[in-house]
Structure 1
Amino acid sequence: MGQRESKLPPRELKDLFYRTDFSEKEIQEYYKSFKKRYPSGIMTTEDLMRLYNSFFAIGDSTSFAELVFRTFDKNRDEKIDFSEILCALSLSLRGSLDQRLLQSFNMFDQDMDGEITSEDMLVIMKAIYKLVGEDSMERQYTGGRSPEQYVKHLFNIMDKNGDRLVSWNEFTEAAYRDPTFLKLMELCRSGSHLYGVRSEGDAEGLRKVACGLSRMCNIS
């Protein structure tokens, strides 16, 4: 029974093979580890918070974990299943730069109307400041600016037509033009990297996540 439950049914496996950039073997490995960690087959908001807390012990991950969860909970049923996680992980690890930026854009665009307001951006920025730590954010990313000051700075750069909204095109133009902003958007996607840890005992997976987060945060 346990052996069968640790493998995806052939139809689901084939569907995820075509929807992601993973091989069938990789998908089965991820599924086996996912079921070991979450026997019910779903991840809740609390599960994600605990996962974040294990990597960001210094900061407060609560707000950011909730935002990441909402982004990947595509059907809004307040739980994330394996297919939602795997598709997010595929984009995060193997997607193009535009695909990865779209993940970040969707985090800001919480109502999914294709535009970001300054209020949308401020919610995310405050969550990131809490996650990484205010001192680290101001020192490494935002030039000493508070969340409110940094959002105002970003809007001055991105909102080219002055409509107080940032479109997808304006967002990507800013990311391509400003390396610091691009690195910050990679940090926004760091929730997806956490899904790459295949099991509690996967030392290699933990090492990769730690290295990835260190690069994003400029930790030597």
Structure 2
Amino acid sequence: MAQGHRGLDLLLPEEKGGTLYVLMLLSFFPLYCWLRGGETREDEIEISFVCHRPEGLETLQEETRFSKKELQFLYRAFKNECPSGVVNEDIFKLIYSQFFPQGDSSNYAHFLFEAFDTNKNGCLSFQEFVAGLSLILRGSMYDRLNWAFNFYDNDKDGFITKEEMMKIMQSIYDMMGKYVYPSMHDDIPREHVEHFFQKMDRNRDGVVTIEEFMESCQKDENIMRSMRLFDSVF
């Protein structure tokens, strides 16, 4: 499974404008591979939990924008991998450590788990899990950019600081490990952060607001094009 991310090698050091693209790829594909690994041969399966029963299928369709067949596939894989009906942070860390064995993915997995764990109870139900995937894969451009902003905004105060961005960028480089090519020097994550703020912090007050973030991203065709790549996934 480790070879699954080799296509990202040149993006990290070369394309500072592709940071959001890399983030979205890293957020989704290990989880997707994990679900694919849990697929069974059954064609149909009805949603029902023993320990943690999710909402009805029709309600989930309305909330997530996934079709009935897609939800059945997702639930089948989720149930196979998590018979208890919930995912905790340790499972996220295990998934990412298997996908990026040459690096330390624990911090990135922690940040991503927190982004999915919307009710902050330390575990993800099937509903929370598919809601997060839906925002990334099926949400409007506003939904996807809002998700990315909240991912960077660690303390959820409505602003992205350089310290918050640095934590995320460092976690990405730590996770990639020696697979980053060409090899990076210690200042590369900070250079990405500085580039991000030069682009996004329009009033130069040292923080990025959701308005600045949205406006800057929507004016950047590279970011918009990369975000639209998810329209054809799954």
TM-score, normalised relative to structure 1: 0.71
- Equivalent position to 2:196, from 128, 133, 154: 154
Is 1:106–2:150 an aligned residue pair? Answer: yes
- Percent identity between the two aligned chains: 36
Q: Which residue of 2 aligns with 1:65?
A: 109
Q: State how 1:33-52 maps to structure 2 within 5 Å.
A: 33-52=77-96
Write the distance in 1 (CA, Å) between the matches of 2:140 and 2:162. Answer: 26
Deviations 1:20-67 (A, max 9, x none): 111123212211221111011111111011111222222221100000
Shift in CA distance, 48/116, structure 1 to aligned 2, threshold 3 Å? same
> Does structure 2 conserve the Cα–Cα contact (< 8 Å) formed by 1:138 and 1:145?
no
Q: Which has the higher contact order (CA 8 A, sep 6+)?
A: 2
Root mean square deviation, CA, Å: 3.2
Q: Which residue of 2 aligns with 1:7?
A: 47
How far apart are 1:136 and its partner, in Å?
2.6
Write the distance in 1 (CA, Å) between the matches of 2:186 and 2:55. Answer: 52
Write the distance in 1 (CA, Å) between the matches of 2:180 and 2:218. Answer: 23
Write the distance in 2 (CA, Å) between the matches of 1:119 and 1:10. Answer: 37
Write the distance in 1 (CA, Å) between the matches of 2:214 and 2:123. Answer: 30
Query: Gaps (5+ residues) in structure 2?
Result: 1-41
> Does structure 2 conserve the Cα–Cα contact (< 8 Å) formed by 1:122 and 1:151?
yes
> Does structure 2 conserve the Cα–Cα contact (< 8 Å) formed by 1:60 and 1:130?
yes
Write the distance in 1 (CA, Å) between the matches of 2:134 and 2:75. Answer: 13
Write the distance in 1 (CA, Å) between the matches of 2:88 and 2:74. Answer: 18
TM-score, normalised relative to structure 2: 0.67
Q: Which residue of 2 aligns with 1:175?
A: 217
Query: Gaps (5+ residues) in structure 1?
Result: 187-192, 194-207, 210-220
Q: State how 1:86-105 maps to structure 2 within 5 Å.
A: 86-105=130-149
Shift in CA distance, 172/133, structure 1 to aligned 2, threshold 3 Å? farther
Q: Which residue of 1 aligns with 2:4?
A: none
Out of 6-15 and 145-154, give the one that drifted further: 6-15
> Does structure 2 conserve the Cα–Cα contact (< 8 Å) formed by 1:129 and 1:137?
no
Shift in CA distance, 42/135, structure 1 to aligned 2, threshold 3 Å? closer
Q: Report SS of the residue matched to 1:160.
A: coil
Deviations 1:179-210 (A, max 9, x none): 66x39x96xxxxxx9xxxxxxxxxxxxxx89x
Shift in CA distance, 135/41, structure 1 to aligned 2, threshold 3 Å? closer
Q: Report SS of the residue matched to 1:66.
A: helix
Q: Which residue of 2 aligns with 1:199?
A: none
